[in-house]
Structure 1
Protein backbone atom coordinates (compact mmCIF):
# COMPACT_ATOMS: atom_id res chain seq x y z
CA UNK A 1 0.00 0.00 0.00
CA UNK A 2 1.52 3.30 -1.12
CA UNK A 3 1.56 6.05 1.53
CA UNK A 4 1.39 9.61 0.24
CA UNK A 5 3.05 12.51 2.05
CA UNK A 6 0.14 14.96 1.85
CA UNK A 7 -3.59 14.61 2.50
CA UNK A 8 -5.78 14.21 -0.55
CA UNK A 9 -7.54 17.31 -1.87
CA UNK A 10 -10.80 16.20 -3.48
CA UNK A 11 -11.13 17.35 -7.08
CA UNK A 12 -7.54 18.51 -7.39
CA UNK A 13 -5.46 17.29 -10.34
CA UNK A 14 -1.70 16.99 -9.81
CA UNK A 15 0.51 17.28 -12.89
CA UNK A 16 3.83 15.61 -12.05
CA UNK A 17 6.73 16.68 -14.28
CA UNK A 18 10.08 14.88 -13.82
CA UNK A 19 13.01 16.60 -15.50
CA UNK A 20 16.74 16.34 -16.05
CA UNK A 21 18.73 19.04 -17.87
CA UNK A 22 15.82 20.40 -19.88
CA UNK A 23 15.95 24.04 -18.92
CA UNK A 24 15.69 24.81 -22.64
CA UNK A 25 12.17 23.37 -23.01
CA UNK A 26 10.49 22.72 -19.65
CA UNK A 27 8.89 26.18 -19.42
CA UNK A 28 6.61 25.30 -22.34
CA UNK A 29 5.69 22.05 -20.60
CA UNK A 30 4.82 23.77 -17.32
CA UNK A 31 2.88 26.48 -19.16
CA UNK A 32 0.76 23.82 -20.85
CA UNK A 33 -0.16 22.33 -17.46
CA UNK A 34 -1.00 25.74 -16.01
CA UNK A 35 -3.14 26.57 -19.06
CA UNK A 36 -5.57 23.71 -18.45
CA UNK A 37 -9.24 24.63 -18.59
CA UNK A 38 -9.59 22.35 -15.57
CA UNK A 39 -8.45 25.08 -13.21
CA UNK A 40 -8.17 23.01 -10.03
CA UNK A 41 -4.66 21.87 -11.01
CA UNK A 42 -1.30 21.91 -9.25
CA UNK A 43 2.07 21.33 -10.92
CA UNK A 44 4.79 19.34 -9.14
CA UNK A 45 8.19 19.62 -10.85
CA UNK A 46 10.80 17.08 -9.73
CA UNK A 47 14.33 18.05 -10.76
CA UNK A 48 16.40 14.86 -10.95
CA UNK A 49 19.76 16.52 -10.30
CA UNK A 50 19.90 18.90 -13.28
CA UNK A 51 23.12 20.85 -13.84
CA UNK A 52 21.94 23.17 -16.63
CA UNK A 53 20.28 25.94 -14.63
CA UNK A 54 16.85 24.32 -14.44
CA UNK A 55 16.38 25.41 -10.82
CA UNK A 56 17.20 29.03 -11.57
CA UNK A 57 14.97 29.12 -14.64
CA UNK A 58 11.98 27.72 -12.75
CA UNK A 59 12.57 30.10 -9.84
CA UNK A 60 12.74 33.11 -12.15
CA UNK A 61 9.82 32.07 -14.35
CA UNK A 62 7.46 30.41 -11.88
CA UNK A 63 8.64 31.54 -8.44
CA UNK A 64 5.50 33.62 -7.92
CA UNK A 65 3.11 30.99 -9.25
CA UNK A 66 1.43 29.36 -6.22
CA UNK A 67 0.26 26.36 -8.24
CA UNK A 68 3.84 25.29 -9.05
CA UNK A 69 5.93 23.36 -6.55
CA UNK A 70 9.58 22.60 -7.25
CA UNK A 71 11.36 19.60 -5.71
CA UNK A 72 15.04 18.77 -6.14
CA UNK A 73 16.73 15.40 -5.65
CA UNK A 74 20.05 13.80 -6.41
CA UNK A 75 20.06 12.13 -9.80
CA UNK A 76 18.23 8.81 -9.40
CA UNK A 77 16.43 8.31 -12.71
CA UNK A 78 13.01 9.11 -14.10
CA UNK A 79 11.18 6.44 -12.09
CA UNK A 80 12.47 7.79 -8.78
CA UNK A 81 11.58 11.33 -9.88
CA UNK A 82 8.06 10.34 -10.87
CA UNK A 83 7.62 8.50 -7.58
CA UNK A 84 8.81 11.51 -5.57
CA UNK A 85 6.39 13.75 -7.42
CA UNK A 86 3.41 11.45 -6.95
CA UNK A 87 4.17 10.97 -3.25
CA UNK A 88 4.28 14.75 -2.78
CA UNK A 89 1.13 15.36 -4.83
CA UNK A 90 -2.11 16.42 -3.17
CA UNK A 91 -4.49 15.62 -5.99
CA UNK A 92 -7.31 13.14 -6.24
CA UNK A 93 -6.21 12.74 -9.85
CA UNK A 94 -2.58 12.22 -10.92
CA UNK A 95 -1.14 12.95 -14.34
CA UNK A 96 2.45 12.46 -15.45
CA UNK A 97 3.95 14.81 -18.04
CA UNK A 98 7.44 14.43 -19.50
CA UNK A 99 9.39 17.68 -19.51
CA UNK A 100 9.67 17.92 -23.30
CA UNK A 101 5.97 17.26 -24.02
CA UNK A 102 2.97 19.58 -23.76
CA UNK A 103 -0.77 19.22 -23.19
CA UNK A 104 -3.62 20.80 -25.09
CA UNK A 105 -5.67 23.05 -22.75
CA UNK A 106 -8.75 20.81 -22.57
CA UNK A 107 -6.90 17.56 -21.80
CA UNK A 108 -7.44 17.23 -18.05
CA UNK A 109 -11.01 18.52 -18.21
CA UNK A 110 -12.01 15.83 -20.68
CA UNK A 111 -10.29 12.99 -18.84
CA UNK A 112 -11.52 13.96 -15.39
CA UNK A 113 -15.06 14.24 -16.77
CA UNK A 114 -14.70 10.64 -17.96
CA UNK A 115 -13.29 9.47 -14.62
CA UNK A 116 -16.15 11.13 -12.75
CA UNK A 117 -18.79 9.71 -15.07
CA UNK A 118 -17.33 6.21 -14.71
CA UNK A 119 -15.93 5.83 -11.17
CA UNK A 120 -14.89 2.24 -11.87
CA UNK A 121 -12.17 3.40 -14.30
CA UNK A 122 -8.67 3.45 -12.86
CA UNK A 123 -7.12 5.39 -15.75
CA UNK A 124 -8.02 7.33 -18.89
CA UNK A 125 -5.51 8.05 -21.66
CA UNK A 126 -5.71 9.77 -25.05
CA UNK A 127 -4.24 9.88 -28.52
CA UNK A 128 -1.44 12.38 -29.21
CA UNK A 129 0.38 14.31 -31.90
CA UNK A 130 4.02 13.54 -32.71
CA UNK A 131 6.14 16.65 -33.31
CA UNK A 132 9.73 17.11 -34.47
CA UNK A 133 12.36 19.23 -32.65
CA UNK A 134 11.16 22.31 -34.59
CA UNK A 135 7.61 21.81 -33.32
CA UNK A 136 6.16 20.62 -36.63
CA UNK A 137 3.46 17.97 -36.42
CA UNK A 138 4.75 14.85 -38.18
CA UNK A 139 1.81 12.61 -37.22
CA UNK A 140 -1.51 14.07 -35.98
CA UNK A 141 -2.59 10.74 -34.46
CA UNK A 142 0.45 8.81 -33.34
CA UNK A 143 -0.92 6.47 -30.64
CA UNK A 144 -1.66 3.47 -32.83
CA UNK A 145 1.52 3.90 -34.86
CA UNK A 146 3.72 3.94 -31.76
CA UNK A 147 2.34 1.10 -29.64
CA UNK A 148 2.37 -2.55 -30.65
CA UNK A 149 -0.90 -3.50 -28.96
CA UNK A 150 -2.95 -1.72 -31.61
CA UNK A 151 -1.32 -3.75 -34.38
CA UNK A 152 -2.77 -6.94 -32.91
CA UNK A 153 -6.27 -5.84 -31.82
CA UNK A 154 -9.02 -3.60 -33.15
CA UNK A 155 -10.82 -1.10 -30.92
CA UNK A 156 -13.74 -3.53 -30.75
CA UNK A 157 -11.43 -6.29 -29.49
CA UNK A 158 -9.73 -4.02 -26.94
CA UNK A 159 -12.80 -2.30 -25.51
CA UNK A 160 -16.34 -3.36 -24.63
CA UNK A 161 -18.16 -0.01 -24.74
CA UNK A 162 -18.01 3.35 -26.52
CA UNK A 163 -19.47 6.66 -25.35
CA UNK A 164 -19.64 9.91 -27.37
CA UNK A 165 -17.55 12.62 -25.74
CA UNK A 166 -20.20 15.21 -26.64
CA UNK A 167 -22.39 13.59 -23.97
CA UNK A 168 -19.62 13.94 -21.35
CA UNK A 169 -18.19 17.33 -22.31
CA UNK A 170 -20.80 19.06 -24.51
CA UNK A 171 -19.05 22.43 -24.09
CA UNK A 172 -15.80 21.12 -25.62
CA UNK A 173 -16.65 21.42 -29.29
CA UNK A 174 -13.31 20.00 -30.40
CA UNK A 175 -14.39 16.63 -28.96
CA UNK A 176 -17.83 16.43 -30.61
CA UNK A 177 -16.65 13.72 -33.02
CA UNK A 178 -14.56 11.83 -30.45
CA UNK A 179 -15.40 8.86 -28.26
CA UNK A 180 -14.45 7.40 -24.91
CA UNK A 181 -13.65 3.70 -25.21
CA UNK A 182 -13.98 1.63 -22.02
CA UNK A 183 -12.96 -1.91 -21.19
CA UNK A 184 -10.72 -4.43 -19.45
CA UNK A 185 -7.53 -4.28 -21.55
CA UNK A 186 -5.11 -6.10 -19.24
CA UNK A 187 -4.95 -9.37 -21.19
CA UNK A 188 -4.43 -7.69 -24.54
CA UNK A 189 -1.96 -5.22 -23.07
CA UNK A 190 0.28 -8.20 -22.31
CA UNK A 191 0.69 -8.57 -26.07
CA UNK A 192 1.77 -4.97 -26.54
CA UNK A 193 1.73 -1.55 -24.92
CA UNK A 194 -1.26 0.74 -25.45
CA UNK A 195 -0.57 3.92 -23.47
CA UNK A 196 1.81 6.88 -23.64
CA UNK A 197 2.43 7.88 -20.03
CA UNK A 198 2.17 11.63 -20.64
CA UNK A 199 -1.41 11.15 -21.90
CA UNK A 200 -2.70 9.22 -18.88
CA UNK A 201 -4.67 10.44 -15.88
CA UNK A 202 -5.23 8.01 -13.02
CA UNK A 203 -6.74 8.11 -9.58
CA UNK A 204 -4.54 8.49 -6.54
CA UNK A 205 -6.54 5.65 -4.97
CA UNK A 206 -5.47 3.40 -7.85
CA UNK A 207 -1.79 4.19 -7.28
CA UNK A 208 -2.25 3.48 -3.58
CA UNK A 209 -3.27 -0.06 -4.55
CA UNK A 210 -0.89 -0.87 -7.42
CA UNK A 211 2.22 0.88 -6.10
CA UNK A 212 4.75 3.23 -7.67
CA UNK A 213 7.20 2.88 -10.56
CA UNK A 214 9.78 0.10 -10.27
CA UNK A 215 13.07 1.99 -9.89
CA UNK A 216 14.95 -1.16 -10.88
CA UNK A 217 13.68 -0.80 -14.44
CA UNK A 218 15.67 1.89 -16.24
CA UNK A 219 13.77 1.38 -19.51
CA UNK A 220 10.24 0.02 -19.90
CA UNK A 221 9.20 1.22 -16.45
CA UNK A 222 6.12 2.92 -17.96
CA UNK A 223 4.78 -0.35 -19.35
CA UNK A 224 5.21 -2.15 -16.03
CA UNK A 225 3.40 0.60 -14.10
CA UNK A 226 0.55 1.04 -16.57
CA UNK A 227 0.06 -2.72 -16.90
CA UNK A 228 -0.44 -2.92 -13.14
CA UNK A 229 -3.16 -0.28 -13.41
CA UNK A 230 -4.83 -2.19 -16.25
CA UNK A 231 -4.64 -5.36 -14.14
CA UNK A 232 -6.70 -3.61 -11.44
CA UNK A 233 -9.83 -3.17 -13.55
CA UNK A 234 -11.45 -1.28 -16.41
CA UNK A 235 -9.76 1.71 -18.04
CA UNK A 236 -10.66 4.18 -20.77
CA UNK A 237 -9.22 5.84 -23.86
CA UNK A 238 -10.38 9.07 -25.53
CA UNK A 239 -9.69 8.86 -29.26
CA UNK A 240 -8.59 12.48 -29.62
CA UNK A 241 -5.01 13.85 -29.61
CA UNK A 242 -4.72 15.74 -26.32
CA UNK A 243 -0.99 16.46 -26.25
CA UNK A 244 2.15 16.92 -28.31
CA UNK A 245 4.84 14.27 -27.97
CA UNK A 246 8.38 15.35 -28.79
CA UNK A 247 10.37 13.08 -31.08
CA UNK A 248 13.99 13.15 -32.15
CA UNK A 249 15.67 14.99 -29.28
CA UNK A 250 19.30 14.12 -28.58
CA UNK A 251 18.58 12.91 -25.03
CA UNK A 252 16.01 10.31 -26.07
CA UNK A 253 16.93 6.62 -25.75
CA UNK A 254 18.02 5.32 -29.15
CA UNK A 255 21.21 3.30 -28.73
CA UNK A 256 21.22 -0.45 -29.44
CA UNK A 257 21.75 -1.33 -25.77
CA UNK A 258 18.69 0.72 -24.78
CA UNK A 259 16.54 -1.01 -27.39
CA UNK A 260 17.74 -4.41 -26.20
CA UNK A 261 17.07 -3.56 -22.56
CA UNK A 262 13.59 -2.37 -23.50
CA UNK A 263 12.83 -5.75 -25.08
CA UNK A 264 14.33 -7.72 -22.16
CA UNK A 265 12.38 -5.67 -19.60
CA UNK A 266 9.16 -6.24 -21.52
CA UNK A 267 9.61 -9.99 -21.12
CA UNK A 268 10.49 -9.59 -17.44
CA UNK A 269 7.30 -7.59 -16.92
CA UNK A 270 4.89 -10.09 -18.48
CA UNK A 271 6.46 -13.33 -17.22
CA UNK A 272 5.12 -13.11 -13.63
CA UNK A 273 1.55 -12.70 -14.91
CA UNK A 274 1.92 -15.70 -17.21
CA UNK A 275 3.32 -17.82 -14.39
CA UNK A 276 1.07 -16.71 -11.53
CA UNK A 277 -2.14 -15.29 -13.00
CA UNK A 278 -2.96 -17.43 -16.04
CA UNK A 279 -6.63 -17.71 -15.06
CA UNK A 280 -7.06 -13.94 -15.38
CA UNK A 281 -5.53 -13.78 -18.85
CA UNK A 282 -8.20 -13.86 -21.54
CA UNK A 283 -5.95 -15.06 -24.33
CA UNK A 284 -5.93 -18.47 -25.99
CA UNK A 285 -2.95 -20.78 -25.68
CA UNK A 286 -2.17 -20.04 -29.32
CA UNK A 287 -2.21 -16.29 -28.71
CA UNK A 288 0.12 -16.69 -25.75
CA UNK A 289 2.53 -18.81 -27.79
CA UNK A 290 2.56 -16.20 -30.54
CA UNK A 291 3.06 -13.43 -27.98
CA UNK A 292 6.08 -15.23 -26.52
CA UNK A 293 7.43 -15.94 -30.01
CA UNK A 294 7.20 -12.23 -30.81
CA UNK A 295 8.89 -11.11 -27.59
CA UNK A 296 11.76 -13.59 -27.86
CA UNK A 297 12.26 -12.64 -31.53
CA UNK A 298 12.29 -8.95 -30.52
CA UNK A 299 15.02 -9.63 -27.96
CA UNK A 300 16.94 -11.76 -30.45
CA UNK A 301 16.83 -9.09 -33.15
CA UNK A 302 18.04 -6.37 -30.80
CA UNK A 303 20.77 -8.68 -29.48
CA UNK A 304 21.97 -9.26 -33.06
CA UNK A 305 21.99 -5.49 -33.61
CA UNK A 306 24.09 -5.08 -30.48
CA UNK A 307 26.50 -7.90 -31.30
CA UNK A 308 25.40 -10.05 -28.33
CA UNK A 309 25.21 -13.24 -30.35
CA UNK A 310 24.94 -15.78 -27.53
CA UNK A 311 21.94 -13.91 -26.15
CA UNK A 312 20.52 -13.62 -29.66
CA UNK A 313 20.79 -17.37 -30.26
CA UNK A 314 19.07 -18.13 -26.96
CA UNK A 315 16.03 -15.97 -27.64
CA UNK A 316 15.73 -16.66 -31.36
CA UNK A 317 15.68 -20.38 -30.56
CA UNK A 318 12.99 -19.78 -27.91
CA UNK A 319 10.97 -17.81 -30.45
CA UNK A 320 11.13 -20.67 -32.94
CA UNK A 321 10.15 -23.12 -30.19
CA UNK A 322 6.92 -21.15 -29.72
CA UNK A 323 6.31 -20.73 -33.46
CA UNK A 324 8.50 -22.61 -35.93
CA UNK A 325 7.02 -20.88 -39.00
CA UNK A 326 9.23 -17.80 -38.92
CA UNK A 327 11.61 -17.69 -41.87
CA UNK A 328 13.16 -14.37 -40.84
CA UNK A 329 13.74 -15.59 -37.29
CA UNK A 330 15.34 -18.79 -38.57
CA UNK A 331 17.57 -16.78 -40.89
CA UNK A 332 18.71 -14.55 -38.04
CA UNK A 333 19.44 -17.58 -35.88
CA UNK A 334 21.62 -19.05 -38.63
CA UNK A 335 23.44 -15.73 -39.08
CA UNK A 336 24.10 -15.55 -35.33
CA UNK A 337 25.75 -18.99 -35.50
CA UNK A 338 28.19 -18.15 -38.30
CA UNK A 339 31.90 -17.47 -37.72
CA UNK A 340 32.53 -13.84 -36.93
CA UNK A 341 34.08 -12.83 -40.29
CA UNK A 342 31.04 -14.21 -42.18
CA UNK A 343 28.47 -13.19 -39.63
CA UNK A 344 29.61 -9.57 -39.44
CA UNK A 345 29.12 -9.11 -43.18
CA UNK A 346 25.66 -10.65 -43.15
CA UNK A 347 24.64 -8.72 -40.04
CA UNK A 348 25.65 -5.48 -41.74
CA UNK A 349 23.52 -6.42 -44.73
CA UNK A 350 20.64 -7.17 -42.36
CA UNK A 351 20.95 -3.76 -40.67
CA UNK A 352 21.03 -1.95 -44.01
CA UNK A 353 17.93 -3.82 -45.16
CA UNK A 354 16.10 -2.80 -41.97
CA UNK A 355 16.98 0.85 -42.54
CA UNK A 356 16.00 0.84 -46.22
Structure 2
Protein backbone atom coordinates (compact mmCIF):
# COMPACT_ATOMS: atom_id res chain seq x y z
CA UNK A 1 0.00 0.00 0.00
CA UNK A 2 1.42 3.37 -1.00
CA UNK A 3 2.26 5.70 1.87
CA UNK A 4 2.30 9.41 1.04
CA UNK A 5 4.29 11.64 3.40
CA UNK A 6 3.55 15.38 3.20
CA UNK A 7 6.38 17.76 4.04
CA UNK A 8 5.87 21.56 4.01
CA UNK A 9 9.10 23.51 3.60
CA UNK A 10 9.93 27.15 4.20
CA UNK A 11 13.56 28.28 4.42
CA UNK A 12 14.91 25.02 5.85
CA UNK A 13 18.06 24.65 3.75
CA UNK A 14 19.98 23.49 6.82
CA UNK A 15 17.63 20.67 7.81
CA UNK A 16 15.42 19.60 4.89
CA UNK A 17 18.05 17.29 3.40
CA UNK A 18 18.35 15.37 6.68
CA UNK A 19 14.58 15.15 7.02
CA UNK A 20 14.23 13.69 3.53
CA UNK A 21 17.12 11.26 4.01
CA UNK A 22 15.48 10.00 7.20
CA UNK A 23 12.48 9.01 5.08
CA UNK A 24 14.47 7.60 2.18
CA UNK A 25 16.33 5.16 4.42
CA UNK A 26 12.97 3.46 5.03
CA UNK A 27 12.07 2.75 1.42
CA UNK A 28 12.55 -0.96 2.01
CA UNK A 29 9.70 -0.93 4.54
CA UNK A 30 7.16 1.24 2.72
CA UNK A 31 6.13 2.15 -0.80
CA UNK A 32 6.88 5.82 -0.24
CA UNK A 33 5.52 8.87 -2.04
CA UNK A 34 7.10 12.00 -0.53
CA UNK A 35 5.20 15.20 -1.30
CA UNK A 36 7.30 18.31 -0.66
CA UNK A 37 5.44 21.62 -0.72
CA UNK A 38 7.85 24.54 -0.84
CA UNK A 39 6.05 27.55 0.59
CA UNK A 40 8.00 30.25 -1.24
CA UNK A 41 11.43 29.66 0.30
CA UNK A 42 13.99 32.39 -0.32
CA UNK A 43 17.03 30.26 0.60
CA UNK A 44 18.39 27.16 -1.14
CA UNK A 45 15.80 24.74 0.24
CA UNK A 46 14.46 23.96 -3.25
CA UNK A 47 17.95 23.22 -4.54
CA UNK A 48 18.53 20.78 -1.70
CA UNK A 49 15.27 18.99 -2.46
CA UNK A 50 16.02 18.83 -6.19
CA UNK A 51 19.45 17.33 -5.52
CA UNK A 52 17.76 14.43 -3.73
CA UNK A 53 15.06 13.95 -6.37
CA UNK A 54 17.81 12.97 -8.80
CA UNK A 55 18.48 9.83 -6.74
CA UNK A 56 15.00 9.34 -5.33
CA UNK A 57 12.13 9.94 -7.79
CA UNK A 58 9.65 9.06 -5.04
CA UNK A 59 10.13 12.71 -3.95
CA UNK A 60 7.71 15.06 -5.70
CA UNK A 61 8.32 18.79 -5.34
CA UNK A 62 5.60 21.44 -5.66
CA UNK A 63 6.20 25.16 -5.24
CA UNK A 64 3.81 27.91 -4.24
CA UNK A 65 3.99 31.52 -3.18
CA UNK A 66 4.39 31.96 0.55
CA UNK A 67 0.98 31.27 2.09
CA UNK A 68 1.84 29.68 5.44
CA UNK A 69 2.19 26.14 6.72
CA UNK A 70 -1.56 25.46 6.91
CA UNK A 71 -2.12 26.13 3.23
CA UNK A 72 1.05 24.22 2.41
CA UNK A 73 -0.32 21.15 4.22
CA UNK A 74 -3.60 21.47 2.33
CA UNK A 75 -1.69 21.77 -0.93
CA UNK A 76 0.00 18.49 -0.04
CA UNK A 77 -3.34 16.79 0.56
CA UNK A 78 -4.46 17.87 -2.89
CA UNK A 79 -1.45 16.08 -4.42
CA UNK A 80 -2.26 12.63 -3.02
CA UNK A 81 -1.98 9.97 -5.70
CA UNK A 82 -5.01 7.83 -6.62
CA UNK A 83 -3.17 4.77 -5.31
CA UNK A 84 -2.29 6.36 -1.95
CA UNK A 85 -3.76 4.28 0.86
CA UNK A 86 -1.93 5.74 3.88
CA UNK A 87 -0.98 9.33 4.73
CA UNK A 88 1.59 10.74 7.14
CA UNK A 89 3.42 14.00 7.72
CA UNK A 90 6.96 15.10 8.53
CA UNK A 91 8.12 18.65 9.12
CA UNK A 92 11.23 19.71 7.24
CA UNK A 93 13.40 20.15 10.35
CA UNK A 94 12.49 16.86 12.03
CA UNK A 95 13.68 13.27 11.64
CA UNK A 96 11.83 10.02 11.02
CA UNK A 97 13.61 7.35 13.14
CA UNK A 98 14.82 4.13 11.52
CA UNK A 99 12.21 1.39 11.56
CA UNK A 100 9.40 3.83 12.22
CA UNK A 101 7.26 2.75 9.25
CA UNK A 102 8.07 -0.95 9.46
CA UNK A 103 6.87 -1.03 13.06
CA UNK A 104 3.60 0.79 12.54
CA UNK A 105 2.65 -0.61 9.14
CA UNK A 106 2.42 -4.08 10.67
CA UNK A 107 -0.56 -2.78 12.65
CA UNK A 108 -2.46 -2.07 9.44
CA UNK A 109 -1.49 -5.44 8.01
CA UNK A 110 -2.85 -7.14 11.12
CA UNK A 111 -6.16 -5.24 11.15
CA UNK A 112 -7.70 -4.03 7.85
CA UNK A 113 -10.32 -2.03 9.78
CA UNK A 114 -7.67 0.08 11.54
CA UNK A 115 -7.79 3.78 10.57
CA UNK A 116 -4.97 5.37 12.55
CA UNK A 117 -1.76 4.62 14.42
CA UNK A 118 -0.55 7.24 16.88
CA UNK A 119 2.90 6.57 18.26
CA UNK A 120 5.39 8.37 20.49
CA UNK A 121 7.86 11.19 19.81
CA UNK A 122 11.23 12.14 21.24
CA UNK A 123 11.93 15.82 21.84
CA UNK A 124 15.65 16.34 21.33
CA UNK A 125 17.92 19.38 21.20
CA UNK A 126 20.79 17.96 19.11
CA UNK A 127 20.77 15.53 16.18
CA UNK A 128 23.80 14.34 14.24
CA UNK A 129 23.00 15.13 10.60
CA UNK A 130 25.23 12.29 9.40
CA UNK A 131 23.78 9.47 11.49
CA UNK A 132 20.34 11.12 11.80
CA UNK A 133 20.32 10.10 15.46
CA UNK A 134 20.38 12.18 18.66
CA UNK A 135 23.91 12.99 19.74
CA UNK A 136 25.33 11.30 22.82
CA UNK A 137 25.16 14.48 24.90
CA UNK A 138 21.74 15.66 23.69
CA UNK A 139 18.87 16.32 26.08
CA UNK A 140 15.70 14.44 25.22
CA UNK A 141 12.24 13.45 26.44
CA UNK A 142 9.98 10.79 24.93
CA UNK A 143 6.24 11.43 25.14
CA UNK A 144 2.99 10.90 23.32
CA UNK A 145 2.85 14.51 22.24
CA UNK A 146 0.49 16.55 20.11
CA UNK A 147 2.06 16.33 16.70
CA UNK A 148 1.06 15.07 13.27
CA UNK A 149 4.19 13.12 12.46
CA UNK A 150 3.69 10.22 14.92
CA UNK A 151 0.39 9.47 13.16
CA UNK A 152 -0.31 7.36 10.10
CA UNK A 153 -3.80 7.87 8.68
CA UNK A 154 -5.77 5.59 6.42
CA UNK A 155 -6.82 7.67 3.45
CA UNK A 156 -10.54 7.27 4.10
CA UNK A 157 -10.00 8.89 7.51
CA UNK A 158 -8.17 11.84 5.93
CA UNK A 159 -11.04 12.26 3.49
CA UNK A 160 -13.53 12.14 6.36
CA UNK A 161 -11.68 14.79 8.40
CA UNK A 162 -11.13 17.06 5.42
CA UNK A 163 -8.63 19.87 5.07
CA UNK A 164 -6.64 21.79 7.67
CA UNK A 165 -8.47 24.81 9.06
CA UNK A 166 -6.89 27.80 7.31
CA UNK A 167 -8.14 30.06 10.08
CA UNK A 168 -5.11 28.75 12.00
CA UNK A 169 -1.66 30.07 11.12
CA UNK A 170 -0.18 27.93 13.89
CA UNK A 171 -1.56 24.97 15.87
CA UNK A 172 -3.33 23.79 12.71
CA UNK A 173 -1.87 20.35 13.46
CA UNK A 174 -3.34 20.38 16.98
CA UNK A 175 -6.74 21.28 15.57
CA UNK A 176 -6.47 18.54 12.95
CA UNK A 177 -5.55 15.88 15.51
CA UNK A 178 -8.34 16.92 17.85
CA UNK A 179 -10.87 16.76 15.02
CA UNK A 180 -9.48 13.36 14.05
CA UNK A 181 -9.88 11.82 17.51
CA UNK A 182 -13.27 13.50 18.01
CA UNK A 183 -14.51 11.65 14.92
CA UNK A 184 -14.03 8.31 16.67
CA UNK A 185 -11.59 6.50 14.35
CA UNK A 186 -10.46 2.98 15.07
CA UNK A 187 -6.92 3.57 16.28
CA UNK A 188 -4.04 2.00 18.13
CA UNK A 189 -1.20 3.63 20.05
CA UNK A 190 2.05 1.70 19.55
CA UNK A 191 5.06 2.45 21.70
CA UNK A 192 7.13 3.07 18.57
CA UNK A 193 9.19 6.25 18.63
CA UNK A 194 7.92 7.69 15.36
CA UNK A 195 9.55 11.12 15.44
CA UNK A 196 12.66 12.93 16.55
CA UNK A 197 11.35 16.44 17.12
CA UNK A 198 14.30 18.74 16.71
CA UNK A 199 14.26 21.71 19.09
CA UNK A 200 16.33 24.60 17.75
CA UNK A 201 16.23 28.42 17.82
CA UNK A 202 14.34 28.59 14.54
CA UNK A 203 11.39 26.46 15.64
CA UNK A 204 8.18 28.37 15.12
CA UNK A 205 6.81 26.88 18.32
CA UNK A 206 9.55 28.38 20.49
CA UNK A 207 8.87 31.98 19.52
CA UNK A 208 6.84 34.35 21.71
CA UNK A 209 3.38 33.48 23.05
CA UNK A 210 1.53 33.18 19.75
CA UNK A 211 1.84 29.37 19.51
CA UNK A 212 0.45 28.92 23.03
CA UNK A 213 -2.54 31.14 22.28
CA UNK A 214 -3.19 29.26 19.03
CA UNK A 215 -2.86 25.93 20.82
CA UNK A 216 -5.38 27.01 23.44
CA UNK A 217 -7.70 28.27 20.72
CA UNK A 218 -7.61 24.83 19.10
CA UNK A 219 -8.39 23.18 22.44
CA UNK A 220 -11.24 25.65 23.07
CA UNK A 221 -12.74 24.99 19.64
CA UNK A 222 -12.59 21.27 20.36
CA UNK A 223 -14.43 21.76 23.65
CA UNK A 224 -17.11 23.86 21.92
CA UNK A 225 -17.60 21.23 19.22
CA UNK A 226 -18.01 18.45 21.77
CA UNK A 227 -20.49 20.47 23.83
CA UNK A 228 -22.52 21.30 20.73
CA UNK A 229 -22.40 17.76 19.33
CA UNK A 230 -22.59 15.01 21.92
CA UNK A 231 -21.91 12.37 19.28
CA UNK A 232 -18.27 13.49 19.10
CA UNK A 233 -15.78 11.40 21.04
CA UNK A 234 -13.72 12.58 24.04
CA UNK A 235 -10.00 13.18 23.59
CA UNK A 236 -9.04 12.68 27.24
CA UNK A 237 -6.12 10.38 27.95
CA UNK A 238 -4.64 10.44 24.45
CA UNK A 239 -1.90 13.02 24.89
CA UNK A 240 0.75 13.28 27.63
CA UNK A 241 -0.29 16.69 28.92
CA UNK A 242 1.54 16.28 32.23
CA UNK A 243 4.89 15.67 30.54
CA UNK A 244 4.12 18.50 28.15
CA UNK A 245 3.46 21.04 30.88
CA UNK A 246 6.03 23.30 29.23
CA UNK A 247 4.09 24.37 26.14
CA UNK A 248 7.31 25.13 24.27
CA UNK A 249 7.65 21.37 23.74
CA UNK A 250 4.42 21.19 21.73
Name the TM tier (shorter chain): 0.7 to 0.9
SS at match of 2:201: coil
Structure 2 unaligned segments of length 5 or more: list them. 128-133, 237-244
The structure having more radius of gyration, on CA atoms, is: 1
Map 1:332-343 → 2, pairs under 5 A:
none
Counterpart of 1:265 in structure 2 is 218
What is the match of residue 51 of structure 2? 60
1:73 to 33, 39, 64: 64
Matched, 1:274 2:227: yes
The alignment's TM-score, normalised by the length of structure 1, stands at: 0.58
* Contact residue 210 and residue 232 of structure 1 kept, 8 A: no
Q: Offset at 1:89?
A: 2.1
C-alpha distance in structure 1 between counterparts of 2:184 and 2:97, whole Å: 28
Q: What residue number does 1:197 align with? A: 148
Alpha-carbon contact 1:133-1:249 (below 8 Å) kept? no
Equivalent residue, structure 2, for 1:104? 97
Q: Partners in 1 of 2:68 and 2:11 — Cα distance?
A: 12
Question: Are the counterparts in 2 of residues 62 and 68 from structure 1 also a CA contact under 8 Å?
Answer: yes
Residue 224 in structure 1 maps to residue 225 in structure 2: no
SS at match of 2:77: helix
Q: 2:79 aligns with which of 88, 107, 110?
A: 88
1:248 matched to which residue of 2?
200
Displaced runs of 4+ in structure 1, greater than 4 A?
Answer: 279-283
- Equivalenced residue count is 225
Are 1:48 and 1:75, in contact at CA under 8 Å, matched by a contact in 2? yes
Q: CA deviation at 1:129?
A: 1.7
CA distance in 2, matches of 1:280, 1:85: 27
CA contact (8 A) 1:122 1:232 kept: no
User: Unaligned 5+ residue runs, structure 1?
Assistant: 1-10, 148-194, 288-297, 303-356
What is the alpha-carbon distance in structure 1 between the residues aligned to residue 20 and residue 125 of structure 2? 19
Is the Cα–Cα contact under 8 Å of residues 220 and 266 in structure 1 kept in the other structure? no
- Higher relative contact order (Cα pairs below 8 Å, separated by 6+ residues): 2
- Whether 2:106 is the aligned partner of 1:113: answer yes
CA distance in 1, matches of 2:92, 2:139: 19
Q: Which residue of 2 aligns with 1:309?
A: none
Q: Deviations over 1:89-137 (max 9, x none)?
A: 2221111001111112211122221123222322102112221145444
Secondary structure of the structure 1 residue equivalent to 2:35: strand
Secondary structure of the residue that 1:95 maps to in structure 2? strand
Q: Give distance in 1, aligned partners of 2:75 and 2:89.
A: 12
Alignment partners' CA distance in 2, 1:242 and 1:211: 23
Structure 1 residues 140 and 267 mapped into 2: Cα distance closer, same or farther (>3 Å)? closer
Cα offset, 1:55, TM superposition: 1.2
Between the aligned partners of 1:93 and 1:279, the Cα distance in structure 2 is: 26
Determine the C-alpha separation between the residues in 1 that align with 2:162 and 2:222: 15
Distance in 1, Cα, partners of 2:3 & 2:74 = 16
C-alpha separation in 2, matches of 1:282 and 1:142: 20
TM-score computed with the length of structure 2 as normaliser: 0.81
Cα distance in 1, alignment partners of residues 15 and 174 from structure 2: 25
**In 2, distance between residues paired with 1:66 and 1:117?**
30
